[in-house]
C-alpha cells in the first residue's frame, strides 16, 4: 500500500457504503473494509488470504480474470459488473471501480452492491416481456409458456402451473403445468379448491409445504415443513383470473424480495391472460357457431377454399353436402325453442360422429348444415354419405323422456363435376337439397 493509503484513517474507510478490497498480483485478498462483510457476508478474517476469483460466480469467472488482466496492465476501469457468491450461497451483483498500483503491486477495487438496480431492471424487463407476450402469443398455451420463461428469469423456479378461472366464476381449472408431477390429475380438483381458491378469494399469496400438497390426497394429513410451493393469485381489476403455482428450486421457498417481484408481475400476467382470453373468445365466435360449436359460414368458406386447392393439386374429388332439418319451425312452435335447440345440437353431434376427424361439419344458421368431405372415390360415394347422415339424423332424439324423430333433406355436389368454386358447389348442393325436400312434400317431417 502507498503512503497516502496508509495515512487514510481506517475508521473513515469503514464508514464507506461500498466495499474496498486490495488484491495482490497472485489474486489473493490482502485487505477489506467493513462494508465487505455486509456485501459478501464474510468477516474480514474469513476473506483475507483467499483467492478473489474463488468468490466469483462460476459463470462470471473467465470474464472477471480477463478484466483483472486489463486492470493489471495499468488501465483504470470503472463499471465492470459481475456476480459474487455470498457466504450464505446467494448471488450478489457487483459493479467495480478498479486500478492497479504498480508501486504496491496491488489491485485496488471498490465494489458497489447493485442488487436493487438489477432487480428494478429485471422487473422492468419482465413487465415489458409480459406485455410483449400478451401481444405476440398465438394462443393461451403459448402465452403460459412465455410467462413460465419470464418468471424463471426473475426468481428461482423449478416448476410452474397456471390455473384459470372459468369466466364469471371463481372455479379453477389447471390450464398449464411444467415439472409439477406431484400435482397429478386425481388431486387437482382438491388442490385447486383448497389452496388456489383460498389465495384467489383472499387476493393474497399462499405458501405450501410438501406435506400440505400431499395432504390433498385422500386420507393424508397436512404437516408443516419447508414451504417450497407458492400460490400467487392472478387478479385483474378486482376480477379473479386464476392463480400461479410456483415450485422453488431445491425446495428453498421464496424470499420476501422474490414475493414482492412476483406480486408485481402477477398483476401484469393477470391482465395479459384476461386480454388473451377475450381475444380467443372473439376469435372463437367469429369462426364458430355459438349453439353447436361447429364452424360457421365464414370458416366453412375458408375450409372449402383450402380443400379445393388441395383437391386441385392432388387431382382428387371432394363433396359438399347441404343438409336442412325438416320441420324445425313446427318443433319450436309446438315443443318450445329449447327443444328445437336440443334437436340442433344432437344433429350436430351425430353428423360429426358419422364423419372422419378431417372432414368438416358446419352450421350455416337456422336448420342448415353443410358437410365437406375430401378424397372422395366416386360421385356415388357422396350419395352413400348422404344416406348415412340421413339415417343418423333419423334416430330418435330423447327430449323430456320422449323420443322425438327428426328428418333431414340432403343435397350433394361434387368437385369437379358440379363446380370448381365454393359458391358453385354450395349452390348446386342447395338446389339438390331443395329437390329432395320437394320430393318429400306432404310427408310428416317429424314425429313423436
Ligand X SMILES: Nc1nc2c(ncn2[C@@H]2O[C@H](COP(=O)(O)OP(=O)(O)OP(=O)(O)O)[C@@H](O)[C@H]2O)c(=O)[nH]1
Q: How many residues does the chain have?
A: 448
Applying CB under 6 A, does 327 fall inside the site for ligand X? yes
203 vs 366, beta carbon nearer ligand X: 366
Applying CB under 6 A, does 159 fall inside the site for ligand X? no
Let me know if 423 is exposed, middle or buried by CB neighbors in 10 A (0-12, 13-18, 19+): exposed
Q: Which residue is nearest to ligand X (CB)?
A: 340
Applying CB under 6 A, does 411 fall inside the site for ligand X? no
Strand order of the β-sheet with 206-208 is 172-178, 157-165, 239-248, 229-236, 206-208
Q: Residue 344 CB, nearest distance to ligand X (Å)?
A: 6
Applying CB under 6 A, does 366 fall inside the site for ligand X? yes
- Of the ranges 51-59, 239-247, 335-343, 350-358, which one interacts with ligand X (CB under 6 A)? 335-343
Applying CB under 6 A, does 82 fall inside the site for ligand X? no
- Of the ranges 91-99, 101-109, 124-132, 323-331, which one interacts with ligand X (CB under 6 A)? 323-331
164 vs 339, beta carbon nearer ligand X: 339
Q: How far apart are CA 35 and CA 38, in angstroms?
A: 5
Among 332, 345, 349, 424, contact with ligand X (rule: CB under 6 A)? 332
Applying CB under 6 A, does 329 fall inside the site for ligand X? yes
Among 261, 270, 344, 361, contact with ligand X (rule: CB under 6 A)? 344
Q: How far apart are CA 269 and CA 131, in angstroms?
A: 8
Among 60, 367, 374, 436, contact with ligand X (rule: CB under 6 A)? 367
Among 135, 298, 337, 438, contact with ligand X (rule: CB under 6 A)? 337
258 vs 326, beta carbon nearer ligand X: 326
Residues 372/307, Cβ–Cβ less than 8 Å: yes
Applying CB under 6 A, does 326 fall inside the site for ligand X? yes
**270 is written with which cell numbers?**
393477470
330 vs 391, beta carbon nearer ligand X: 330
Q: How far apart are CA 303 and CA 320, in angstroms?
A: 11
Residues forming contacts to ligand X in the complex (CB under 6 A) are 291, 324-330, 332, 337, 340-341, 344, 366-367, 445
Amino acid at each position: 500500500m502507498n503512503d497516502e493509503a496508509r495515512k487514510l484513517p481506517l475508521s473513515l474507510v469503514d464508514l464507506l457504503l461500498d466495499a474496498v478490497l486490495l488484491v495482490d498480483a497472485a489474486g489473493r485478498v490482502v485487505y477489506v473494509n467493513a462494508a465487505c462483510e455486509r456485501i459478501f457476508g464474510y468477516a474480514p478474517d474469513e476473506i483475507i488470504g483467499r483467492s478473489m476469483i474463488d468468490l466469483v460466480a462460476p459463470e462470471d469467472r473467465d470474464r472477471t480474470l480477463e478484466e483483472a488482466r486489463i486492470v493489471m496492465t495499468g488501465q483504470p476501469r470503472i463499471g465492470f459488473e459481475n456476480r459474487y457468491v455470498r457466504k450464505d450461497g446467494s448471488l450478489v451483483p457487483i459493479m467495480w471501480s478498479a486500478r492497479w498500483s504498480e508501486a504496491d503491486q496491488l489491485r485496488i477495487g471498490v465494489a458497489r452492491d447493485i442488487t436493487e438496480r438489477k432487480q428494478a431492471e429485471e422487473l422492468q424487463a419482465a413487465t415489458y416481456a409480459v406485455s410483449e407476450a400478451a401481444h405476440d402469443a398465438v394462443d393461451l398455451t403459448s402465452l403460459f409458456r412465455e410467462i413460465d420463461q419470464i418468471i424463471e428469469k426473475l426468481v428461482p423456479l423449478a416448476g410452474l402451473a397456471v390455473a384459470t378461472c372459468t369466466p364469471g366464476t371463481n372455479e379453477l381449472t389447471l390450464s398449464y403445468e411444467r415439472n409439477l408431477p406431484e400435482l397429478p390429475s386425481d388431486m387437482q380438483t382438491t388442490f385447486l379448491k383448497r389452496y388456489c381458491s383460498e389465495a384467489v378469494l383472499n387476493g393474497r399469496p399462499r405458501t405450501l409445504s410438501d406435506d400440505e400438497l400431499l395432504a390433498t390426497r385422500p386420507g393424508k394429513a397436512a404437516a408443516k415443513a419447508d414451504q417450497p410451493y407458492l400460490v400467487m393469485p392472478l387478479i385483474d381489476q378486482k376480477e379473479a383470473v386464476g392463480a400461479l403455482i410456483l415450485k422453488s428450486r431445491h425446495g428453498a421457498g421464496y424470499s420476501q424480495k422474490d414475493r414482492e417481484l412476483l406480486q408485481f408481475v402477477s398483476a401484469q400476467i393477470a391482465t395479459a391472460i384476461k386480454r388473451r382470453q377475450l381475444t380467443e373468445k372473439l376469435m372463437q365466435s367469429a369462426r364458430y357457431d355459438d349453439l353447436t360449436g361447429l364452424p360457421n359460414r365464414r370458416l366453412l368458406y375458408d375450409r372449402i377454399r383450402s380443400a379445393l386447392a388441395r383437391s386441385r393439386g392432388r387431382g382428387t374429388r371432394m363433396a359438399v353436402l347441404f343438409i336442412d332439418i325438416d320441420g324445425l319451425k313446427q318443433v319450436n312452435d309446438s315443443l318450445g325453442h329449447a327443444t328445437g335447440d336440443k334437436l340442433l345440437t344432437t344433429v350436430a353431434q351425430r353428423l360429426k360422429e358419422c364423419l372422419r376427424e378431417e372432414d368438416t361439419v358446419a352450421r350455416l344458421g337456422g336448420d342448415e348444415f353443410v358437410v365437406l368431405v375430401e378424397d372422395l372415390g366416386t360421385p356415388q360415394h357422396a350419395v352413400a354419405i348422404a344416406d348415412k347422415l340421413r339415417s343418423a339424423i333419423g334416430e330418435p332424439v330423447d327430449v323430456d323422456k320422449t323420443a322425438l324423430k327428426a328428418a333431414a333433406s340432403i343435397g350433394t355436389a361434387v368437385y369437379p363435376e358440379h363446380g370448381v368454386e365454393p359458391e358453385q358447389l354450395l349452390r348446386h348442393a342447395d338446389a339438390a337439397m331443395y329437390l329432395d325436400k320437394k320430393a318429400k312434400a306432404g310427408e310428416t317431417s317429424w314425429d313423436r
